[in-house]
Structure 1
Amino acid sequence: MALTILIVIVAILALGYLRAPLIAWTIAALAGIAYGVYGGCGLHLGWLIGAGVIAAIFNIVPLRRALLTGPIFGIFKKITPAMSQTEQEAINAGTVWWDAELFSGKPDFKKLHGYNAPKLSAEEQAFLDGPTEQLCSMIDDWKITHELKDLPPEVWQFIKDNGFLGMIIKKKYGGVEFSNYAHARIVTKIATRGGTAAVSVMVPNSLGPGELLQHYGTEAQKDYYLPRLAKGLDIPCFALTSPYAGSDAGAIPDFGVVTRGSYTDPRTGQRHENVVGIRLSWEKRWITLAPIATVLGMAFKLYDPEHILGDKEDIGITCALIPTEHEGVQIGRRHAPPGSAFMNGPTMGKDVFIPLEWIIGGKDYAGQGWRMLVECLSVGRAISLPAMSVASGKFASFVTGAYARVREQFGLSIGKFEGVDEALARIGGYTYQMDSAQRLALSGLDSGEKPSVISAILKYHNTERMRKVLNDAMDIHGGKAVVLGPRNYLGNAYQTIPVGITVEGANILTRSMIIYGQGAIRCHPFVLREMKAAMANNGAEFDKAFSGHIGFVFDNAIRSFVMGVTGSKLNSAPVGGDLAQYYKDIERLSAAFALASDMAMFSMGGSLKFREKISARLGDVLSNLYIATSSLKRFADDGSPKDDLPLLKWAVLQALHDAQEALTGFLANLPNRPLAFVLKWIIFPLGRHFTTPRDRLGTKIARLLMQPGAARDRLTRDVYVPKNEADAVGVLNYALSAHIEAESTEGKLRRAQRDGKLKALNAQGRLDEALASGQITQAEHEIVTRARRLKREVIMVDDFDKMLDQHDTEISARIPV
């Protein structure tokens, strides 16, 4: 009897682990019960008859609908929370892609590695190496942020003349029509030199008039505006956010009323009398480029109380283009973002009359603004701020690795102290994660996808990692990064952290409401089908979806348990060696995540969307699974370079640990405690398995950042590095190479001093004494002298006159060595 029970248990686990179809479960169950009846196990014939009836109910669709899914459908329709129009449009926006695989419980890694690796065309590479490099050379970030408070006129003109404002605009309209990958690489490189310039280039190519016009504009609007936008003849901005509606764009208080009126078109000077248009009032804040914009994109709520356009009075959110010279438009005042001087400010207008023709797409698109915005947001959101975050990570890796090697305390490079070593590992590891996550998303964008959930993951997690990376970089640089001035290459980036955290949706709400809020519905293989079936009152479709959903839950529960007990050893992987286990572990956590999601929705129903802490933790699991898989994809796309293994392993191990901890937090806070208890033993039957990366792995990353080499070059690719020793960033590579060359001689000098062979009181005196006494050669003396001079340039900070007005660039000339 015990053997029979064991066989039954193994069979159940095997069928669930293999995701056997319903018919296989049915055959196995009937065969097992028949054996129990006729094989001498003492089961009564009634067991077989009962099992046959149950099998018929589950496998014969009319019976199943009549007795099982039909009644459930009736209940489901009553308890399913209604979605507002804005929620429906947000849910329907964009596409599902690799995120859906992660929600499946069994991601297809062959599909992952089948995605094209993003590549630059010859034209895009030439633009990155040519105009982008030249633009970076023209940027003096200190002068821009603290003296001019704007880009110099010659920089603005260079940006306009060389097509930086038309990267997304098609060539037939005068743009350069670059790929999303090229767009991100260009923004990244500019951002490593100056945030003001990067934002000024980024915004016209992100969510705004250019993108909206190409997707929805009338032919007349495209023909007029797109060539002007591409060449910088028009500077665009897009006004969405108001003082009373930030992340809640659906609460826009700005409104327009359809009516008749007269206006003068500022583009032509022509007067138009008694035409149908919109009387528009608005107050917007935090609008980038608004102070200098020539064309204002505007989102507002449109009403038609006189029913001029039709029967509907509340038409909905609408987007329009308004020349800023139009009568009543107010721009010109500025906000002051921290650490940057990009143009950002308010715009206002009261009872401004505009014609219907200024609606983007014409009057047929009145009320379609929210759909237009959310569809385009998934693209721009995956490029702009994630690229700025990647730039911060790459730049921090480059400068901090060099600084930590050159800067010494107690006769030792500070990067060799374990506390600094630990921070360097985080800088390199998080940078690898950020870059990998965006590269995979850009691969999807350039293949035609618009992954809205992934874009939210990138926005939140890249900007949060940017915050961590810059904090660590500041800590390692210490006093070097505290004193502002031209020599401080981190100060401005550190001050601008809140900008990335706040714009395009506050990070707190992106994490707690958007990532999982969209992902649970869009990416789940059955939930959206069930909801649509309920809204359409389609019982047949609900039967298919719900039946599949039940099997999905059952399979994931069994698979989670089996993989937890076996350490995922039974899973397959697309590669061999050490990396195979990472794929297996990701599959295990994917199944656990899918199970946890279903149990959260089952136990909390519609209230789940109000339990933001629960949603946030589930979103963290999904996000970290995405980050882990994107890191593996990036490593493979790069040709699996052995030198990059420490970065890859750190990135994946940290992501797996973070996903595990998010699941643990979910289980600890799930309101249904008995369910949480059961889930804990299914998901973590042997306890938590995934640890943070080991110290030895972190040390390898720290050494990688402090040593010139191919791995460091790959990680910091696209950092603009001036070939100039007088530049605060440019000197770092020279100082690093010189320091490494001088290390053996410096060691010789320290030993000689310790042994009493050198008596001089200062470093320069001992160096000269060693030369005079023949302990070092003239060549060694020169190597050390150069290394020390460059080291001094690296560690020096700026000082000014008493009023902090006049900066002295000749510090070395007035301070004795």
Structure 2
Amino acid sequence: MLPGLLMFFIGLAGLFALAMYRAPLIAWAAAVAGYTLALQLGLGEGTLHPPVFPWWAWAGWAFAGLLFALTFDPVRRSLIAEPAYKALRRALPKISETEREALEAGTTGWDAELFSGTPDWDRLRDLPGVTLTAEERAFLDGPTEELCRRIDDWQIRRELCDLPEDIWRFIAEQGFFGMLISKEHGGLGFSPQAQSLVIGKISSRSADAGVIVMVPNSLGPGELVEKFGTDEQKSHYLPRLARGEELPCFALTGPFSGSDAAAMRDVGVVTMGEHEGRETLGIRVTWNKRYITLAPKATLLGLAFRLEDPENLLGKGTDVGITLGLIPTRHPGVEIGRRHAPTGCAFPNGPTSGKDVFIPIDWVIGGAEGAGRGWPMLMSCLAAGRSISLPAVSAAAAKSMLRHTTAYARVRRQFGLPIGYMEGIEAPLAELTETAYTLEAARGVTAAMVSQGQKPAVISALLKYASTERMRKALEAAMDIHGGRGICDGPTNYLQSAYQMMPIGITVEGANILTRTLIVFAQGSIRAHPYLLTEIEAVQDDDRKAGFRRFETAFNRHISFMLSNVFGAAFHNVTFGVFADSPEDAGLTKRWYRQLARGTRSFALVADMAAALLGGGLKKHQRTSGRLADALTELYMLSCLIKRYEEDGYQPEDLPLFEYAATASLQRFDAALDAALSDFPVPIAGPILRQLVFPFGFRRRAPSDADAKEIVRAVLQPGRLRDRITANVFQTDDPVYPTGLLEKAFLSVVANEAAERRLESAIRKGEIMRNYETDWIGDAESKGIVTPDEAGRLRETEDLVARAIAVDHFEADALSPAARHPDSQNSTHQYAAE
């Protein structure tokens, strides 16, 4: 007979199994009845006897009976579904039309798997790797490389405050402005993966040039016309945009409607008016916009405004909704051309306004049919900026900072050794290495999703926020390590351009503060949750009968989902994830799949409870929402890391870096959940959830110092690892370029390391004196410390290093405003009107 303790654990295991695998109620009823009967018969005591009926037996049979009764729809409906439906209908705030359109825009994919708690690994593994067509690779290695070599970043940022005309012309003539426009309409028709890599490579050479190429290939007239324009708009504008004959900008943000586009005060009124000498149906629109990139040079203005139709001339009611228009900037009444000066950057950015400007209805994107459809159009296209452009810039910045900073940390010596070997420098170098590896992984995976036709609304917001924040940290680490070399601007400073541009990436396409606290989780918990959006829509359905039927189906499944997460999270956290699901052929990544599966169970539990307990109040509890956004971010980053390591072919030299990044991601995930539960807005729920998520009261540890040293020493050496994790950014060892000079010095230092060590040893022993008045290398040669050949190479290395670490300096009056190019504020986009 079974001992009582074993009987207890068998029952507990059965309970866990039923919950984790979402067993139907009839199975629960049968299990409770069977377990109660077994206890009554004395199976747990080792002796079989006639059934007894103490209080717990009556309770067990009553509970089994209740579960059995709940298998009948009328009983379950009256006891559970109807009270829940009525309570939620009273409690949930009405979803506005703009909120509904934002929630319905885009698609869900891997984000829904993370919210599910039981991810389908095939959805991640079936995504293609970072692959380009032969044409795309030729463009990246050809025109993109040539553009990078032509650029003089100091001239752009300081002397002209603009791109030179020959660079503008080269960009237009080579088709950079038409990468997302289809070949059918004269563009390059490149994949999102190719667009991402091209934008990233240009940005690694010049942040300003990167922005100028990025904007027409991001949210703007090109993509909007391609997807939603009329046939006439497509045939007229797309070839001109692709050839650079039209330079577009898109005006959405106004003084009173930044992240809250629903508060837009720019209004158009449908009316009859005169255009080109004849009476026509059109719109009289007034607007005031700011922060519009490319506006000072644009020839075509994309404009978002609220459309009113007091006479219902369009047949869509009086309040038509947000509408998008296409307005040539030379059109009478358009005020445009003045510039903002964002953090010393040179890309054109400025305001635009107009008062009672009449435009024909044909200038609405999509024509009259497109009136009022502007918000869905914007939401549909928003993935380009959030999923492609800004992550591309962030990943490229981190990779280029890693390449330059590792070279600098190797050639710059203090206290007789390269500063990269000092433990104080190792810490930020390790963080920089992890950031570059992780951001490139996330960039590649997300671009692959978009290339497959997905429009990942939640992931795009998550990645925009996470990538630009991590870019900030990468740039700060690079600046800290470079010290004075980084903060003194000049023609040879290769950090300033990216550093000055950094706050812009954090601010645009949805400011990071609001993206983190209001969008990623607050919208994601509804959009990517398997049942919540259906329940909300059903509760708010005006047809209560039909709405209740939809609600009941979703709610019943939601209960099983909730129970599954409670028991699944408890089980996997108690067993440290060793029984969690993973692909059969995972190999070296198997344990990381299991930890990811364990993490998704915990996240799904906490996310579901937060949504259920806070409901519409989730928007108010933005600290909790932000912390859960951080947790979701780490799950996504870990997914991308696993995907990248597999796609790269399980490279042995990458394994320490992969495991370092994965460990750091899991540690940050635990910290985010811990912070969310520590101050959970519902006091009783926080401690209960904590016991399920952290049953042993501790979190995962961060990577060790030894792990950090291992990966830093690896990237301080030239070779396949360093080249692979910094691929697809501008690289050269041509000393004409500041970064080329640094790279050449780095290679020379490593190649002559043995001779340098002997020389340093002799200097420390006092055998040779090193100062500006002595030829210490010649002394070392004469004393046989180094050979004549080594002495020659050491002199060359010394010269390269001295030039690479030199800091720019100027005549006193050279930095005055008058020293700048006198026409820098008046340059025009000459060829755009040709």
For residue 156 of structure 1, the aligned residue among 153, 168, 182 is: 168
2:90 to 69, 74, 78: 78
**Aligned match of 2:821:** none
Asked whether the equivalents of residues 671 and 699 of structure 2 are also in contact (C-alpha less than 8 Å), the reply is no
Query: Counterpart of 1:508?
Result: 513
Is 1:10 aligned to 2:42, yes or no?
Answer: no
Counterpart secondary structure, 1:422? helix
- Relative to 1, partners in 2 of residues 1:447 and 1:630: Cα closer, same or farther, differing over 3 Å? same
Query: Would the alpha carbon gap of residues 756 and 315 (structure 1) be closer, same or farther in structure 2, given more than 3 Å must change?
Result: closer
Structure 1 counterpart of 2:218, from 194, 206, 214: 206
Equivalent-residue separation in structure 1 for 2:732 and 2:741 (angstroms): 8
Aligned residue type for 2:36? I
CA distance in 2 between partners of 1:51 and 1:756 (Å): 88
Alignment correspondent of 2:725: 715
How far is 1:380 from its partner?
2.8
Aligned counterpart for 1:24 among listed residues 22, 27, 32: 27
* Partner in structure 2 of residue 267 of structure 1: none
Partner secondary structure for residue 522 of structure 2: helix
1:572 to partner: Cα distance: 3.3
Q: 1:723: how far off? A: 4.0
Q: Which residue number corresponds to residue 549 of structure 2? A: 540
Q: Secondary structure, in 3 states, of the residue corresponding to 1:298?
A: strand
1:329 aligns with 2:334: yes
Does the residue aligned with 2:366 lie in a helix, a strand or coil?
coil
Looking at structure 2, the residues matched to 43 and 105 of structure 1 have their Cα atoms a distance apart, in angstroms, of 40
* 3-state SS of 2:76 partner: helix
Quick check: 194-203 or 574-583, which moved more? 574-583
Deviations along 1:425-468, one digit per CA (max 9) or x if unpaired, are: 01010111111111111111111110010000111000000000
2:528 is the counterpart of 1:523? yes
1:587-611 C-alpha deviation (Å, 9 max, x unpaired): 1121111111122123222211221
Cα distance change of structure 1 residues 764 and 524 upon mapping to structure 2, 3 Å threshold: farther
C-alpha distance 578-722 of structure 1, shift in aligned 2 (>3 A): closer
Aligned twin of 1:564: 573
Q: Which residue number in structure 2 is paired with residue 579 of structure 1?
A: 589
Match of 2:827 in 1: none
Q: What residue number does 1:593 align with?
A: 603
Alignment counterpart, residue 798 of structure 2, candidates 782, 788, 804:
788
Q: Deviations over 1:156-199 (max 9, x none)?
A: 11111111000000111110100000000000000010011111
The residue number in structure 1 matching 2:744 is: 734
8 A contact 2:179–2:195 mirrored in 1: yes
| Correspondence 1:171-182 to 2 at 5 A | 171-182=183-194
Cα 1:20–1:773, aligned 2, differ >3 Å: closer, same or farther?
A: same
2:320 is matched with 315
TM-score by length of 2: 0.93
- Confirm or deny that 1:98 pairs with 2:110: yes
Q: What's 2:831 paired with?
A: none
Describe the SS at the equivalent of 1:496: helix
CA distance in structure 2 between the aligned counterparts of 1:798 and 1:67, rounded to whole angstroms:
77
| Residues 522 and 618, structure 2, Cα contact 8 Å, conserved in 1 | no
Match of 2:463 in 1: 458
| TM-aligned CA deviation for residue 46 of structure 1 | 5.2
Q: Which range is displaced more, 405-414 or 666-675? A: 666-675
Q: Does 1:252 align with 2:264?
A: yes
Provide the alpha-carbon RMSD of the alignment.
Answer: 1.8
Task: From the superposition, tell whether residues 571 and 488 of structure 1 become closer, same or farther in structure 2 (CA, over 3 Å).
Answer: same
CA-to-aligned-CA distance 1:249-290 (integer Å, 9 cap, x gap): 111111111111112xxxxxxx23221111111111010111
* Aligned amino acid, residue 548 of structure 1: R
Instruction: Give the CA deviation at 1:492.
Output: 1.9
Query: Which is worse superposed, 74-83 or 230-239?
Result: 74-83
Q: What is the match of residue 422 of structure 2?
A: 417
**Matched AA of 2:31:** A
Moved more, 309-318 or 287-296: 309-318
| Paired position in structure 1 for 2:484 | 479
**Out of 430, 437, 454, which is 1:432 matched to?**
437
Going from structure 1 to structure 2, the CA distance change for 1:759 and 1:635 (only over 3 Å counts) comes to closer
The alpha carbon displacement at 1:696 in A equals: 1.4
In structure 1, C-alpha distance between the alignment counterparts of 2:579 and 2:270, rounded to whole Å: 65
Distance 1:230 1:402 in 2: 39
Q: Residue by residue, what CA displacement relative to the aligned partner does 1:472-493 show, whole Å, maximum 9, x if unpaired?
A: 0000000101110011100121
* 2:309 maps to 1:304: yes
Are residue 119 (structure 1) and residue 128 (structure 2) matched? Answer: no
| Amino acid aligned to 1:402 | A
| Matched residue type, 1:534 | V
Contact 2:603 2:632 in 1 (8 A): yes
Partner of 1:549: 558
Contact kept in structure 2, 1:256 and 1:279, CA below 8 Å:
yes
Paired AA for residue 153 in structure 1: E
Q: In the alignment, residue 401 of structure 1 is paired with which amino acid? A: T
1:628 paired residue among 607, 630, 638:
638
* Bigger mean CA deviation after superposition, 765-774 or 284-293: 765-774
Q: Distance in 2 between matches of 1:362 and 1:285?
A: 25
Aligned partner of residue 357 in structure 2, secondary structure: strand
> Does the CA-based 8 Å contact 1:33-1:47 persist in structure 2?
no
Gapped regions of structure 1 (runs ≥ 5) = 264-270, 808-817
SS in structure 2 at match of 1:125? helix
Q: Number of aligned pairs?
A: 800
How far has the Cα of 1:133 moved from its partner? 0.5
Cα distance in 2 for residues equivalent to 1:359 and 1:406: 58
CA contact (8 A) 2:221 2:326 kept: yes
State yes or no: 1:87 paired with 2:96: no
Corresponding residue to 1:222 among 234, 246, 258: 234
Q: Which residue, 140, 145, 148 being the options, matches 1:133?
A: 145
The structure 1 segments of at least 4 consecutive aligned residues displaced by more than 4 Å after TM superposition are 37-41, 44-49, 575-578, 759-764
Counterpart contact for 1:339–1:493, Cα < 8 Å: no
Contact 2:387–2:463, Cα closer than 8 Å, also in 1:
yes
Name the residue aligned to 2:823: none
Alignment of 1:194 with 2:199, yes or no, is no
Cα distance, 1:3 vs structure 2: 4.6
Question: 2:85 touches 2:539 (CA, 8 Å); kept in 1?
Answer: yes
Distance 1:495 1:42, change over 3 A: same
Question: Aligned AA for 1:540?
Answer: R
